[in-house]
Amino acid sequence: MTQNRPPKPHAPASRCLRILLATLLCVAAGPGRAEPLFALDSAIGEARLTSWHNLIAQGRDADEDDKLEVVNDFINNAVAFGDDRDIWGMDEYWATPLQTLTRGRGDCEDFAIGKYFTLVEMGVPSEKLRLTFVKALRRNQAHMVLAYYPTPTAQPLILDNLDRRIRPAAERKDLLPVYAFNNHGIFLAKSPQQKSAQSPQLLSRWSDVSARTLAEQARRLDDRG
């Protein structure tokens, strides 16, 4: 990976002061007062979103290797692993990047989805990125990672929240690929260069989270305009 990469964005001083103020309010309120805790959570979530927006804006001109590094690091560090039942009150829910970073928690799908849409917004062509269902062999459970293909026939690089290093797929002996998808189609593990005849629209959760993410992006652009 290229060593010269753009610096990771930090929350502006005003955001940090708001977090500090919320913390002081929480201490001053004493036990039994929940409101300052909500203020603190809100301020921290706002700081995460500000850092995310800065990351996207500042990283658009970087090369793709650097984009992969900073986005993989940012999402892995900004989000704590959590179960959908605990976070959203349902057994399975695919959150948008905005939702995941506001809460600061997500499961493996949310990590991969957050990286996918962040990289696309930073200018990485979506056809180079595939959300990939795998079996995590050491844990004996289903898992999702993001795969990046530098060229259509290249070995992909794996962006993961379990092993935080970006590594070629051949080095991830702990992962057994099942199938992959993006907004261009579905790809089976046995023939990763060939699209399945099935439409990605058959993945209802993917269609839903894609639509919600695009709507959120449009609202952000409107707010800035």
Q: What CATH number is given to the structural domain containing 185?
A: 3.10.620.30
- What the block records as the tokens of 161 is 């929240």
Report pLDDT digits (tens) over 156-201: 999 999 999 999 999 999 999 999 999 999 998 877 777 777 766 6
Residue 100 lies in a domain: yes
Residue 78 lies in a domain: yes
pLDDT exceeds 70 at position 214 = yes
Residue 94 lies in a domain: yes
Report pLDDT digits (tens) over 124-163: 999 999 999 999 999 999 999 999 999 988 999 999 999 9
Residue 55 lies in a domain: no
Residue 164 lies in a domain: yes
Residue 36 lies in a domain: no
Domain range for 119 is 63-224
pLDDT exceeds 50 at position 19 = no
Q: What string of H, E and C letters represents the secondary structure of the chain?
A: CCCCCCCCCCCCHHHHHHHHHHHHHHHHHCCCCCHHHHHHHHHHHHHHHHHHHHHHHHHCCCCHHHHHHHHHHHHHHHCEECCHHHHHCCCCCCCCHHHHHHHCEECHHHHHHHHHHHHHHCCCCHHHEEEEEEEECCCCEEEEEEEECCCCCCCCEEECCCCCCCEEHHHCCCEEEEEEEECCEEEECCCCCCECCCCHHHCHHHHHHHHHHHHHHHHHHHHHC
Residue 27 lies in a domain: no
Q: What is the pLDDT of residue 158?
A: 98
Residue 26 lies in a domain: no
Q: What is the pLDDT of residue 20?
A: 43
What average pLDDT does the chain have? 85
pLDDT exceeds 90 at position 72 = yes
Q: In angstroms, rounded to a whole number, what is the distance separating the alpha carbons of residues 130 and 109?
A: 12
Count of structural domains, the chain: 1
- What the block records as the tokens of 103 is 């809460």
User: Once rounded to an integer, what is the mean pLDDT over residues 18-36?
Assistant: 47
Confidence at 45, pLDDT banded by 50, 70, 90: confident
User: Once rounded to an integer, what is the mean pLDDT over residues 10-36?
Assistant: 46
Q: What is the pLDDT of residue 67?
A: 98
Q: What is the pLDDT of residue 17?
A: 42
